A and B are shown apart, each in its own frame.
Chain A
């Protein structure tokens, strides 16, 4: 970590967004993570995406659990709401927050330990509820805070820093999410902001649970030879399947974007996603095909990235629960509370 604060000096040519804010206004405190940590790049990508979407920072909420990844909400959007929860329980806290106020943009940041080990159940059920949030897994294959033990996403054959080899099969969050009905499944790499930033923007605009599994190398414990989550290994096995361009609602699609093998997906708020398919005839709206493609390439050792699956038509949690459109936390007490008579009537139904 650095001892000095990032100087407040702003480049005179730095662009401003629709709110008149610069990228610097979306930053947070100085990172205390190791120098070169992939998580810091994801932080920077979140800052860039929020800036480019002109999101008002005070209308956003950052949530996390425990772990290196879960420290990062302190490093972006210092003007937003935040909740640093118990290990593996971020999804539940997010559910509660979202239930009370559906008007905020929810950004959950978790790690492979926080999501795939202690928080696996929470994660799966948030997906099933189709909770409207962006859920980022900063995936480095090790428990960094406890000095580098294998996590549940470590690949078979991957070597720890001291040489021991992992023999347990990994949980692939993308395959898992696809199998339980996740409506937005993507994978990316902290070292590829050109891919990651549009994905984050699309995920924020997606109504429902948007999961991005981001390979985020741990420079201290998992960036050596024999690691399958190092910068070098990831770049050598990197295989983008679908490039996604995010196009805001009012903007026209440029002709060069429309050329080639493109798939356009209209999002809930009228914005669109342009999906550039690489190679095989990939259909990002076909869950079964996505599952098959991912499994096949995984067996070949490829790290498939991009927007793997999107479904804009499934109801999110509020729709499923038929809650009123107005956020519950803004409803007057009288409307929220059925009153003694109402309560008695409800209880009578269960007698």
Chain B
């Protein structure tokens, strides 16, 4: 193998699994360390720089960081990254002085953002400080998009939402509420320097089955129904409710039903549990509230009696699987009638752009969604950008934020006549964590504490009002333990081959046997020759240059390195050092420092 090029920021970035897994590249170990030090405000601001909405995301993020957390490979459960974010948000001080401000002197550019959801708000957050005049058009009477209309207030309190949106709007955004954009042509005619479409994926899928129209009064489209609840147009539902679909929207629908008077709520799934789209923790939360999740039931028809919905008919399914767990065949075992008063359909949502005329130069593909470039977020008409669910279909808030950052970079370039396709580079900084012979500027001692569980409101209390937040957040005793579970993957093991005397000290001490000195070979061969088998192909091997004494190479399997520093402590020559890696992320008008700075 070629020696690993650690000057490319991607290499060390990838070692920080959570940061690499986060679409917005939040510096997770960095903010967890700040919490450990009691520096909640700085922790919040470090978060905000990347993900803009720490208070919101600390409650409802889809947490792509957690499944990839190294801790989950070392033991069973990842660090509670998401809930620690909430700790920073809950305990921070006043931050008015620290927030970005819009300059008095504007840059003369005007941009229009369609929809006041997380994507558009991120664009505004990035462009306002650069002197842009930003106009946001929002159909509803309040900003927030799906964060407000689709996430129930018992998971995300309205005050948290309002506060974090206000941090952006208060920079002087021209927010036009109750103002849906009805025509792209008309918007284009207003002469904006750039337009961003962040209008979401607003159309819930319907289920056209016999009885659908007769029972229409008691059949609700999930996202529309949640919106009606959020805006207080709906405040009750029947006693027996069936939720069709088993994604995260379904989880919000069933739990909301329980708070609007339902007594018996069933979530109906066509397939077995391993095919559920909902996140494991959302399923857990729903089941704790005694929602029954029924598998292998395929909807067949709505049963109407006397003009009223009385139940639903399902085909009872059975499936056969192949070795890899894929369904190879399905069979109908019979028919089941399940009585109910209301049905909520939560089987997905789609983009819809009835307001974009098809002759504006914005091309649509065969699924009737706009053609959008995956790195510039620009549509086929220069100057019109897309982001959030409007760009590539339903994802989640953290993806919308990253789309917003990227689109803002493109819009800034577009407004200044630069090529949007030329993306700004990421940078990095490495600085040694060494404080003394065996002292490091981070908590390197492995803490075997299992994951702490966030306390929740008592089951008897939580249904009394719709907006009682169920999760109470970590107690101080809990989060001071939980922060120690972080392995500090950003404190990197940095190797200098010319200093190595091949004494094997690092290899002998490594608790997870991730180091080996071997004659160089192709990767496949090397993976089989290491101290412990390197079977996780998604994790990189670090390979040094030839070592001075024997010409062999140092190989490190990054997979389950604990970042415990023992290799560096046992190294007599300082060939291993622990160095804090800081990813430098470029934002609109703010390039990352390019090149590398290293202290060794």
A-side residues, CB < 8 A to B, are 1-14, 23-24, 31, 34-38, 40-41, 43-44, 190-191, 193, 217, 219, 223, 231-232, 235
Contacts and interface: CB of A to CB of B under 8 A. Distances in A.
Given A7-B446, A235-B549, A2 B438 contact: yes
Given A2-B569, A35-B572, A40 B502 contact: no
Nearest to B514: A11
A191 B504 contact: yes
A6 B565 CA distance: 10
A69 to B, nearest CB: 16
A9 B444 contact: no
B571 A36 contact: yes
B532 to A, nearest CB: 4
B442 to A, nearest CB: 12
A219 B499 CA distance: 14
A41 B505 contact: yes
A43 B562 CA distance: 22
B566 interface: yes
Given A8-B448, A9-B74, A13-B532, A191 B502 contact: yes
A30 B538 CA distance: 32
Contacts of B562: 7, 9
27 contacts: A2-B570, A4-B445, A5-B445, A7-B448, A7-B511, A9-B74, A9-B75, A10-B511, A10-B512, A11-B513, A13-B535, A23-B513, A24-B511, A31-B509, A35-B505, A35-B572, A36-B572, A37-B572, A40-B505, A41-B505, A190-B504, A191-B502, A191-B504, A193-B504, A223-B501, A231-B502, A235-B550
Contacts of A34: 572
A220 to B, nearest CB: 8
Given A11-B560, A35-B570, A235-B549, A6 B504 contact: no
Q: Identify the interface centre among A6, A9, A41, A219: most chain B CB within 10 Å of its CB.
A: A9
B503 interface: yes
Given A36-B571, A36-B572, A6 B505 contact: no
Contacts of B511: 6-10, 24
Closest A-B pairs by Cβ, 7 of them:
A36-B572, A7-B446, A44-B508, A4-B445, A11-B532, A36-B503, A41-B504
A155 B461 CA distance: 83
A31 B508 CA distance: 11
B392 to A, nearest CB: 35
B4 interface: no
Contacts of B191: none
Q: Identify the interface centre among B444, B503, B513, B560: most chain A CB within 10 Å of its CB.
A: B503
Nearest to B501: A231
B541 interface: no
A13 B549 contact: no
Nearest to A193: B504
A168 B592 CA distance: 64
A129 B79 CA distance: 59
B503 A41 contact: yes
Contacts of A3: 438
Contacts of B569: 2, 35
Nearest to B534: A13
Contacts of A4: 444-446, 564-566
Nearest to B536: A13
B107 interface: no
B500 to A, nearest CB: 10
Interface string B266-287: 0000000000000000000000
A1 B437 CA distance: 9
Given A4-B445, A9-B74, A219-B572, A37 B513 contact: no
Contacts of A6: 509, 511, 566
Given A11-B514, A34-B572, A231-B549, 7 more contacts: A4-B565, A7-B562, A7-B564, A8-B448, A9-B74, A14-B513, A235-B549
Nearest to B570: A35
Contacts of A7: 445-446, 448, 511, 562, 564
A160 to B, nearest CB: 18
A222 to B, nearest CB: 12
Given A6-B509, A14-B532, A235-B550, A36 B75 contact: no
Contacts of B502: 191, 231, 235
B421 to A, nearest CB: 43
B512 A9 contact: yes
B75 to A, nearest CB: 7
Contacts of B503: 36-38, 41, 190-191, 217, 219, 231
A132 to B, nearest CB: 28
Nearest to B559: A11
Given A3-B438, A7-B564, A13 B505 contact: no
A35 B573 CA distance: 9
Nearest to B505: A36
Contacts of A36: 501, 503, 505, 570-573
B533 interface: yes
B406 to A, nearest CB: 37
Interface in B490-509: 501-505, 507-509
Interface string B408-432: 0000000000000000000000000
Contacts of A41: 503-505, 508
A232 B504 contact: no
A1 B438 contact: yes
B360 to A, nearest CB: 55
A11 B505 CA distance: 18
B450 to A, nearest CB: 13
Contacts of A40: 504-505, 508-509, 570
A37 B505 contact: yes
B484 to A, nearest CB: 13
A13 B533 contact: yes
Interface string B546-575: 000110000000001010111001111100
A231 B448 CA distance: 37
Interface in B508-539: 508-509, 511-514, 532-533, 535
Nearest to B444: A4
A108 B463 CA distance: 70
Q: Identify the interface centre among A3, A12, A34: most chain B CB within 10 Å of its CB.
A: A12
Contacts of B571: 35-36
A303 to B, nearest CB: 14
Contacts of B73: 12
A12 B539 CA distance: 15
B505 A232 contact: no
A185 to B, nearest CB: 24
Nearest to A34: B572
Nearest to B533: A13
A232 B513 contact: no
A244 B501 CA distance: 25
A1 B503 CA distance: 16
B102 to A, nearest CB: 48
Interface string B435-468: 0001000001110100000000000000000000
Nearest to B557: A11
Contacts of A43: 508
